[in-house]
Amino acid sequence: MNEKIIEEIRRKDKEVLKRLKEWAESILEKAEKEKDLYIELPTRTLSNVIWDEEKGVILMGEKLSRRYFLNIAHAKRFLQTVWVASRIKELVEEGITSSLRDLYYTVKFTIPGTRENLVDEQRESDKAIEDLETMLNVIREEFHIMSQGGKGHLAGPIEIEERVPSPDGKHRVTEVDGTMLGMGGWAIPPIVEPERVHIKKVEAEFVLVIEKFASWVRFHEDRFWDEYNAIIITGGGQADRATRRLVHRLHYEFKLPVYVLTDADPAGWYIYSVYKQGSINLSYLSPQLATPAARFLGLTISDYHEFKFPPTVKIKLKEWDIKRVNELKNYPWFKKKEWQREFELLEKEQFKMEIEAAASKHWRFISKDYVPAKLEAKAFLP
């Protein structure tokens, strides 16, 4: 790996370390000046999640809350945040990439002089990381921390230079040609920041996101990407951050339109909305993760009639589906009339349908007939 690349990675790390240091210094400064120990962070409750209609994303509001060390109700979380920050400092300094679970174990120990653990559950250290992301305006991947993800796969006319920095100096660079891959395609790594995943060349004209891996394989084997000049991506169900981030990058850096294919049910449609608008939990990350320009290709209940699927593909709605569709109906980002019509149709007809149901027509119906037809007709939902 050449020096320039290493330098690029190092520059990002230095910036992160600087922000960590300044953040800690500001705590001590306030202690001296204001005679109080606190950190200020955006409120991360539903009340502070807002729907930005203009941008088409779920964003975090501007409400701030303070966490005081001398308030016993806040003290432990305060301590957890500081200690997680100091662990992140170690990670970044040593150039190691680690997982949320690893980090959890590095802060799960007994606080000296007490019988209490600094953290007991992983969600405590996860929360501390999220707090630091919002306070420092740094995303977790830049802290060298990944989730247990690795669910994403990609294939198509794209050239990628994947850089793997190593603490022992034996950095690796892998050249990826998206048209020369095996059945599994390219496994989207947990961190896809530009300094790690350098996209060299894109010839594709659009991105097709397919909800499930098995369906993605259908498209891959059929060389859909070749025939239609597309990048095909799957997040393997609910997408991890890296897959969403990569879709986001492809759209913003290469102006590629993004189309999403999911099951015709509330769960699939919500997965689409997470690619498009971001999630409630990670609302603060929407500017990095969401792709508001994404369009929904299918499946819909209307498709059942339009494509004349046999009635045997129908799956009766479960109680959970009915409850969930009611929630979707009320999300502001689903208020558009096209979607409301689909929700009503689902409620009226009381069935749902999977991508795989397309095989009932013939084996390659989905990749050879259905998707091309939809693309041709530009029959997308907003």
Partner 1 sequence: MPEGTDIFKEFKEHSVAEFFKKNKHMLGYSGKVRSLTTAVHELVTNSLDACEEVGILPDISVSLERLGDEHYRLTVKDNGPGIPPHIAPRVFGKLLAGTKFHRMIQTRGQQGIGAAGVTLFSQITTGKPVKIITSTGDGTVWEMEVMVDVTKNEPDVKSKRHYPGDFRGTEVIVELKEVEYNRGKYSVYEYLRRTALANPHVTIRFTEPDGKITTFERSTFEPVKIGIEAKPHPFGITTDDIFSLSRIAKSKTVARMITSHLHGIGSKAIISMLHILPRELNKPPQELTWEEAERIVMLFRLLRTMAEKKRDFDEKEGIEMLKKVLGKEIDEEKAKNLLNILKEVKIRGPSTDVLIPIGKERIKTSLKANLKPSFVSVVERKPKVYYGGIPFQVEVGIAVGGKIENFELMRFANRVPLLFDSGGCAITEAVKSIDWNRYGVDVFNAPVVIMVNISSTHIPYTTAGKQAIADVPEVYNEIRQALMEAGRKLKEYTSKVHSINELMQKKKILEHYLPFLSKGLATLTGKDEKVVESTLKSLLEERYKRLEELMKKLEVESA
Binding site for partner 1 (CB under 8 A): 20-21, 23-25, 27-28, 31-32, 35-37, 69-70, 72, 75-76, 78-79, 82-83, 85-86, 89, 111-114
Minimum CB distance to partner 1 smaller for 112 or for 311: 112
Is the CB of residue 24 less than 8 Å from the CB of residue 88?
no
Minimum CB distance to partner 1 smaller for 98 or for 277: 98
In the bound complex, what is the minimum distance in angstroms from residue 60's beta carbon to partner 1?
24
In the bound complex, what is the minimum distance in angstroms from residue 95's beta carbon to partner 1?
18
In the bound complex, what is the minimum distance in angstroms from residue 40's beta carbon to partner 1?
16
Rounded Cα distance, 282 and 238, in Å: 14
Which candidate in 104, 105, 331, 370 is catalytic? Answer: 105
DSSP H/E element including 155: strand 153-155
Rounded Cα distance, 93 and 14, in Å: 9
Is the CB of residue 38 less than 8 Å from the CB of residue 13?
no
Two tokens at 233?
Answer: 């991506």
Minimum CB distance to partner 1 smaller for 109 or for 363: 109
Residue whose token pair is 């097709």: 208
Instruction: For the sheet with 158-164, list strands across it.
Output: 172-177, 158-164, 197-202
In the bound complex, what is the minimum distance in angstroms from residue 263's beta carbon to partner 1?
46
Minimum CB distance to partner 1 smaller for 23 or for 254: 23
Q: Is 105 a catalytic residue?
A: yes
Minimum CB distance to partner 1 smaller for 119 or for 209: 119
| Peptide bond between residue 299 and the one before it cis (omega within 30 degrees of 0) | yes
Rounded Cα distance, 138 and 129, in Å: 10
In the bound complex, what is the minimum distance in angstroms from residue 82's beta carbon to partner 1?
4
Interior/surface letters 164-184, b for 16+ CB within 10 angstroms, e for the rest: ebeeeeebeeeebebeebeee
Query: β-strand 172-177 against 57-60: which pairing, if any?
Result: unpaired
What positions carry a catalytic annotation?
Answer: 105
